[in-house]
Copies of this chain bind each other. A is one copy, B any other.
Amino acid sequence: MDARPIGVFDSGLGGLTCVKRLMDVMPGEDIIYLGDTGRVPYGGRSRETIIRYARQDIAFLRSFDIKAVVAACGTVSTNGLEEIAGDYPIPVFGVADAAARAAAKATKNGRIGLIGTRASIRSSAYDEKILKLLPSARIFKKACPLFVPLVEEGRVGEDDRVLRLVAEGYLTPLRDAGVDTLILGCTHYPLIAGTVAAVMGPDVRLIDTGAETAEMLRRTLAGSDALSDRARGRCCYYVTDSAEDFGRAASLFLDSHVEGDVRRVTLEEKI
Protein backbone atom coordinates (compact mmCIF):
# COMPACT_ATOMS: atom_id res chain seq x y z
CA MET A 1 0.00 0.00 0.00
CA ASP A 2 1.31 3.42 -0.95
CA ALA A 3 -0.81 6.42 0.02
CA ARG A 4 1.37 8.99 -1.76
CA PRO A 5 -0.29 11.00 -4.53
CA ILE A 6 0.12 10.60 -8.29
CA GLY A 7 1.52 13.66 -10.10
CA VAL A 8 -0.04 14.61 -13.44
CA PHE A 9 1.00 17.45 -15.72
CA ASP A 10 -0.02 18.92 -19.03
CA SER A 11 0.81 22.06 -20.99
CA GLY A 12 -2.64 23.33 -20.09
CA LEU A 13 -5.93 21.94 -18.91
CA GLY A 14 -6.60 19.25 -21.54
CA GLY A 15 -4.79 16.78 -19.28
CA LEU A 16 -7.81 16.96 -16.98
CA THR A 17 -9.45 14.43 -19.32
CA CYS A 18 -6.71 12.04 -18.18
CA VAL A 19 -7.30 12.96 -14.52
CA LYS A 20 -10.92 12.00 -15.05
CA ARG A 21 -9.89 8.56 -16.32
CA LEU A 22 -7.48 8.12 -13.39
CA MET A 23 -10.29 8.95 -10.95
CA ASP A 24 -12.55 6.48 -12.76
CA VAL A 25 -10.18 3.51 -12.47
CA MET A 26 -8.44 4.47 -9.18
CA PRO A 27 -10.96 6.49 -7.15
CA GLY A 28 -8.87 6.11 -3.99
CA GLU A 29 -5.78 7.92 -5.27
CA ASP A 30 -4.77 11.47 -4.40
CA ILE A 31 -3.77 13.45 -7.49
CA ILE A 32 -1.60 16.56 -7.85
CA TYR A 33 -2.26 18.22 -11.21
CA LEU A 34 -0.06 20.88 -12.81
CA GLY A 35 -1.39 22.74 -15.85
CA ASP A 36 1.31 24.98 -17.32
CA THR A 37 -1.30 27.49 -18.49
CA GLY A 38 1.27 30.30 -18.47
CA ARG A 39 3.08 28.63 -21.37
CA VAL A 40 0.32 26.68 -23.14
CA PRO A 41 0.34 25.44 -25.90
CA TYR A 42 3.45 23.26 -26.17
CA GLY A 43 2.25 21.77 -29.48
CA GLY A 44 3.86 24.34 -31.76
CA ARG A 45 7.16 24.64 -29.88
CA SER A 46 10.53 23.13 -30.65
CA ARG A 47 11.58 19.78 -29.18
CA GLU A 48 14.27 21.28 -26.94
CA THR A 49 11.82 23.81 -25.50
CA ILE A 50 9.29 21.04 -24.84
CA ILE A 51 11.90 18.95 -23.00
CA ARG A 52 12.99 21.91 -20.89
CA TYR A 53 9.40 22.68 -19.93
CA ALA A 54 8.71 19.01 -19.10
CA ARG A 55 11.71 18.90 -16.73
CA GLN A 56 10.43 21.99 -14.94
CA ASP A 57 6.93 20.54 -14.68
CA ILE A 58 8.22 17.25 -13.23
CA ALA A 59 10.50 19.12 -10.80
CA PHE A 60 7.48 21.02 -9.51
CA LEU A 61 5.41 17.85 -9.06
CA ARG A 62 8.31 16.14 -7.28
CA SER A 63 8.34 18.94 -4.71
CA PHE A 64 5.39 16.92 -3.38
CA ASP A 65 6.09 13.37 -2.25
CA ILE A 66 4.57 11.60 -5.26
CA LYS A 67 4.80 7.94 -6.25
CA ALA A 68 4.49 8.32 -10.03
CA VAL A 69 4.29 10.97 -12.76
CA VAL A 70 1.90 10.97 -15.70
CA ALA A 71 2.70 13.30 -18.61
CA ALA A 72 -0.93 13.81 -19.66
CA CYS A 73 0.25 15.69 -22.70
CA GLY A 74 0.58 14.11 -26.11
CA THR A 75 3.20 16.64 -27.16
CA VAL A 76 5.53 15.92 -24.21
CA SER A 77 4.92 12.17 -24.49
CA THR A 78 6.16 12.18 -28.06
CA ASN A 79 8.95 14.74 -27.74
CA GLY A 80 11.71 13.54 -25.51
CA LEU A 81 9.89 12.18 -22.45
CA GLU A 82 11.68 8.84 -22.78
CA GLU A 83 15.05 10.59 -22.80
CA ILE A 84 14.40 12.18 -19.43
CA ALA A 85 12.14 9.57 -17.74
CA GLY A 86 15.16 7.54 -16.59
CA ASP A 87 16.52 10.51 -14.64
CA TYR A 88 13.87 10.13 -11.94
CA PRO A 89 13.62 7.52 -9.15
CA ILE A 90 9.85 7.10 -9.65
CA PRO A 91 7.94 5.83 -12.71
CA VAL A 92 7.28 8.50 -15.37
CA PHE A 93 4.46 7.56 -17.76
CA GLY A 94 3.57 9.29 -21.00
CA VAL A 95 0.22 8.90 -22.70
CA ALA A 96 1.86 7.58 -25.87
CA ASP A 97 3.07 4.22 -24.47
CA ALA A 98 -0.25 2.80 -23.38
CA ALA A 99 -1.99 4.18 -26.48
CA ALA A 100 0.54 2.62 -28.87
CA ARG A 101 0.15 -0.70 -27.10
CA ALA A 102 -3.65 -0.53 -27.24
CA ALA A 103 -3.60 0.38 -30.93
CA ALA A 104 -1.21 -2.44 -31.84
CA LYS A 105 -3.51 -4.85 -30.01
CA ALA A 106 -6.76 -3.48 -31.44
CA THR A 107 -5.93 -3.32 -35.14
CA LYS A 108 -6.99 -6.18 -37.37
CA ASN A 109 -5.72 -4.92 -40.73
CA GLY A 110 -2.51 -3.36 -39.37
CA ARG A 111 -3.49 0.12 -40.57
CA ILE A 112 -3.38 2.56 -37.65
CA GLY A 113 -4.25 6.24 -37.77
CA LEU A 114 -2.83 8.91 -35.47
CA ILE A 115 -4.08 12.46 -34.95
CA GLY A 116 -2.47 15.07 -32.70
CA THR A 117 -0.73 18.44 -32.50
CA ARG A 118 1.91 19.42 -35.03
CA ALA A 119 4.73 18.47 -32.64
CA SER A 120 3.21 15.05 -31.87
CA ILE A 121 2.79 14.26 -35.54
CA ARG A 122 6.25 15.57 -36.48
CA SER A 123 7.80 13.21 -33.94
CA SER A 124 8.26 9.54 -34.79
CA ALA A 125 7.61 8.38 -31.22
CA TYR A 126 4.31 6.64 -31.97
CA ASP A 127 5.69 5.01 -35.12
CA GLU A 128 8.62 3.57 -33.19
CA LYS A 129 6.50 2.30 -30.32
CA ILE A 130 3.91 0.71 -32.60
CA LEU A 131 6.43 -0.85 -35.01
CA LYS A 132 8.29 -2.43 -32.10
CA LEU A 133 5.09 -4.22 -31.11
CA LEU A 134 3.73 -4.84 -34.61
CA PRO A 135 6.46 -4.59 -37.27
CA SER A 136 3.95 -5.05 -40.11
CA ALA A 137 1.86 -2.05 -39.06
CA ARG A 138 1.32 0.90 -41.37
CA ILE A 139 0.79 4.23 -39.64
CA PHE A 140 -1.13 7.14 -41.17
CA LYS A 141 -0.71 10.48 -39.41
CA LYS A 142 -2.44 13.83 -39.55
CA ALA A 143 -1.81 16.99 -37.55
CA CYS A 144 -5.11 18.59 -36.53
CA PRO A 145 -4.11 21.99 -35.08
CA LEU A 146 -7.62 23.47 -35.16
CA PHE A 147 -9.13 20.80 -32.89
CA VAL A 148 -7.63 22.25 -29.70
CA PRO A 149 -8.90 25.82 -30.22
CA LEU A 150 -12.31 24.44 -31.24
CA VAL A 151 -12.55 22.35 -28.06
CA GLU A 152 -11.41 25.30 -25.96
CA GLU A 153 -14.18 27.35 -27.54
CA GLY A 154 -16.59 24.68 -26.32
CA ARG A 155 -17.44 23.70 -29.91
CA VAL A 156 -17.63 20.02 -29.11
CA GLY A 157 -21.22 19.15 -30.04
CA GLU A 158 -21.87 16.60 -32.77
CA ASP A 159 -24.19 19.14 -34.37
CA ASP A 160 -21.47 21.83 -34.60
CA ARG A 161 -21.08 22.53 -38.33
CA VAL A 162 -17.65 24.12 -38.05
CA LEU A 163 -16.23 21.20 -36.06
CA ARG A 164 -17.78 18.75 -38.50
CA LEU A 165 -16.31 20.53 -41.55
CA VAL A 166 -12.87 20.77 -39.96
CA ALA A 167 -13.00 17.10 -38.90
CA GLU A 168 -13.97 16.01 -42.40
CA GLY A 169 -11.02 17.93 -43.82
CA TYR A 170 -8.55 16.34 -41.43
CA LEU A 171 -9.94 12.82 -41.22
CA THR A 172 -11.08 11.96 -44.74
CA PRO A 173 -7.52 11.01 -45.87
CA LEU A 174 -7.20 8.64 -42.89
CA ARG A 175 -10.59 7.09 -43.55
CA ASP A 176 -9.72 6.70 -47.22
CA ALA A 177 -6.45 5.02 -46.22
CA GLY A 178 -8.55 2.29 -44.60
CA VAL A 179 -7.35 2.60 -41.00
CA ASP A 180 -9.34 0.41 -38.60
CA THR A 181 -7.88 1.99 -35.45
CA LEU A 182 -7.36 5.69 -34.70
CA ILE A 183 -5.30 7.03 -31.81
CA LEU A 184 -6.69 10.28 -30.37
CA GLY A 185 -3.19 11.57 -29.68
CA CYS A 186 -4.11 14.70 -27.74
CA THR A 187 -5.86 15.00 -24.40
CA HIS A 188 -8.43 17.41 -25.84
CA TYR A 189 -9.74 14.93 -28.37
CA PRO A 190 -11.91 12.68 -26.16
CA LEU A 191 -14.30 15.63 -26.02
CA ILE A 192 -14.88 15.47 -29.76
CA ALA A 193 -14.83 11.68 -30.03
CA GLY A 194 -18.47 11.74 -31.16
CA THR A 195 -17.72 13.83 -34.25
CA VAL A 196 -14.50 11.92 -34.98
CA ALA A 197 -16.41 8.64 -34.79
CA ALA A 198 -19.16 9.99 -37.03
CA VAL A 199 -16.63 10.95 -39.71
CA MET A 200 -14.53 7.78 -39.42
CA GLY A 201 -17.52 5.41 -39.41
CA PRO A 202 -18.58 2.63 -37.05
CA ASP A 203 -15.84 0.16 -37.99
CA VAL A 204 -12.96 2.29 -36.75
CA ARG A 205 -11.89 1.78 -33.15
CA LEU A 206 -10.88 5.01 -31.35
CA ILE A 207 -8.05 4.83 -28.79
CA ASP A 208 -8.42 7.24 -25.84
CA THR A 209 -4.85 7.86 -24.64
CA GLY A 210 -5.91 9.00 -21.16
CA ALA A 211 -8.06 5.93 -20.55
CA GLU A 212 -5.32 3.54 -21.73
CA THR A 213 -2.72 5.31 -19.59
CA ALA A 214 -4.92 5.24 -16.49
CA GLU A 215 -5.42 1.50 -16.88
CA MET A 216 -1.69 0.89 -17.51
CA LEU A 217 -0.77 2.88 -14.40
CA ARG A 218 -3.37 1.03 -12.31
CA ARG A 219 -1.90 -2.31 -13.35
CA THR A 220 1.65 -1.12 -12.63
CA LEU A 221 0.77 0.19 -9.18
CA ALA A 222 -1.29 -2.91 -8.37
CA GLY A 223 1.63 -5.11 -9.45
CA SER A 224 3.93 -3.52 -6.89
CA ASP A 225 1.22 -3.23 -4.22
CA ALA A 226 1.41 0.55 -4.49
CA LEU A 227 -2.28 1.41 -4.76
CA SER A 228 -3.84 3.52 -2.04
CA ASP A 229 -6.39 1.90 0.27
CA ARG A 230 -8.45 5.05 0.66
CA ALA A 231 -12.09 4.94 -0.36
CA ARG A 232 -11.87 8.32 -2.09
CA GLY A 233 -8.83 10.37 -3.02
CA ARG A 234 -8.42 14.14 -3.29
CA CYS A 235 -7.20 16.32 -6.14
CA CYS A 236 -5.13 19.48 -5.90
CA TYR A 237 -4.77 21.64 -9.00
CA TYR A 238 -1.94 24.05 -9.82
CA VAL A 239 -1.72 26.42 -12.77
CA THR A 240 0.98 28.86 -13.92
CA ASP A 241 -1.28 31.67 -15.10
CA SER A 242 -4.44 33.12 -13.61
CA ALA A 243 -6.60 30.53 -11.80
CA GLU A 244 -9.74 32.45 -12.73
CA ASP A 245 -10.75 30.55 -15.83
CA PHE A 246 -10.02 27.18 -14.27
CA GLY A 247 -13.62 26.49 -13.29
CA ARG A 248 -14.92 26.84 -16.84
CA ALA A 249 -12.16 24.63 -18.24
CA ALA A 250 -12.59 22.07 -15.49
CA SER A 251 -16.28 21.71 -16.17
CA LEU A 252 -15.40 21.18 -19.84
CA PHE A 253 -12.56 18.69 -19.44
CA LEU A 254 -13.32 17.10 -16.11
CA ASP A 255 -17.03 16.98 -16.68
CA SER A 256 -17.66 17.83 -13.03
CA HIS A 257 -17.30 20.64 -10.56
CA VAL A 258 -13.80 20.89 -9.21
CA GLU A 259 -13.50 19.52 -5.72
CA GLY A 260 -10.25 20.58 -4.14
CA ASP A 261 -8.01 23.60 -4.35
CA VAL A 262 -6.82 25.50 -7.41
CA ARG A 263 -3.64 27.50 -6.85
CA ARG A 264 -1.37 29.55 -9.00
CA VAL A 265 2.33 28.69 -8.84
CA THR A 266 5.59 29.96 -10.26
CA LEU A 267 8.09 27.78 -12.13
CA GLU A 268 11.64 29.04 -12.34
CA GLU A 269 12.88 29.26 -15.87
CA LYS A 270 14.93 30.99 -18.48
CA ILE A 271 13.48 31.01 -21.97
A→B interface (CB under 8 Å): 38-40, 44-46, 49, 145-146, 148-150, 152-153, 161-162, 165-166, 169, 240-242, 244, 266-271
Contacts and interface: CB of A to CB of B under 8 A. Distances in A.
Contacts of A270: 266, 268-269
Contact of A39 (B152, B162, B166, B271): B271
A117 to B, nearest CB: 12
A244 B45 CA distance: 11
A106 to B, nearest CB: 30
Chain A binding surface SS class: loop
A241 B46 contact: yes
A271 B240 contact: yes
A47 B149 CA distance: 21
A44 B153 CA distance: 12
A241 B146 contact: no
Contacts of A169: 162
Closest 4 pairs between A and B when the two form their complex, measured CB to CB: A46-B242, A149-B149, A38-B271, A162-B165
Contact of A165 (B38, B46, B161, B240): B161
Contacts of A146: 146, 149-150, 153, 162
A145 B256 CA distance: 25
Contacts of A39: 39, 271
Contacts of A267: 271
A263 to B, nearest CB: 14
Nearest to A266: B271
Contacts of A240: 271
Given A162-B169, A267-B271, A269-B269, 11 more contacts: A38-B45, A38-B271, A40-B44, A44-B241, A46-B241, A46-B244, A49-B241, A146-B149, A149-B149, A162-B166, A266-B271
Contacts of A49: 38, 241-242
